[in-house]
Amino acid sequence: MCARYTLTAEEKEILKNNPYQLIGAYEPDANIAITDGGLVITSDEPDIIQQMSFGIVPHTASSNVLTFDTWNIRSEEVMEKKTYAPLMKHRKTCLIIADSFYEWQKITDTDKRPYRFTNERKTFCFAGLWSQWINPETGEKHRTFGIMTTVANQTVGEIHDKQRMPVILHRNEELRWLNKKLTVEQLLEMCKPYPDHMMNRTQVSKKVNKVSTKKNPNKGIELIKPYNELVIPTLFD
């Protein structure tokens, strides 16, 4: 599963790797969680980078409040789910820009150790699907996205007990994921584990465990620092 990820790169770095028009202001975020905003490129508007909310709200929903898990989409089952099958059928694919994601290693029932996962690129893209819900009273558009997942590689699987990971696209796959002319089968062929030798993992502070709120923000760049840089060694460590 992938319910928390980051995008902390400078705006110029994001635009260097994704040379499109950025709509709206960009703020680095070391703790993007469900219902937070993320930067997305869609198959319908492939020349712009726009903000959307994390967690798909179906266009048929009665409100834009999430009522079940729609932030992760199992690629093996996507065509079996009534929420996602129409999105795949109509090629509502998207790229979700990131520079890392978090997973937790279960130590005990009450203790989980967070790890940050990166790869050889400064920024990369998850494969995703997106949807648009329209407020029936105001006509306001609310766009949302979810991240495709696949079986975990060893780097992630040694940490994540459910053996899942987000689908990270190779650079040469990104435009293909947005290609509306590809079949569903061709799209799903890209939903595979990212190679182990291209990934790294780093233990980070448990401070990242806390989801950010307006009253208690938790978005600081210190969240991505390796745990051993934050701990002061003692004679008893």
Which of 236, 208, 227, 184 lies closest to 31 in space, CA to CA?
208
Place of tokens 């994704």: 18
Q: Which of 57, 130, 125 is nearest to 96 (CA)?
A: 125
What would the DSSP string read from start to end of 40-98?
A: EEESSSTTEEEEEEES---TT-SSSS--S--SEEEGGGGGG-TTTHHHHHTT-EEEEEE
| The one catalytic residue among 94, 103, 173, 191 | 103
Catalytic residue among 2, 94, 125, 191: 2
What's the Cα-to-Cα distance from 209 to each of 51, 70, 186, 223, rounded to whole Å? 24, 20, 36, 10
Are 143 and 132 contacting, i.e. CB atoms less than 8 angstroms apart?
A: yes
Rounded Cα gap, residues 173 and 187, in angstroms: 10
SS3 113: strand
User: Is 158 noted as a catalytic residue in this protein?
Assistant: no
Would residue 2 show up in a list of annotated catalytic residues for this protein?
yes
> Could you give the residue numbers annotated as active site?
2, 103
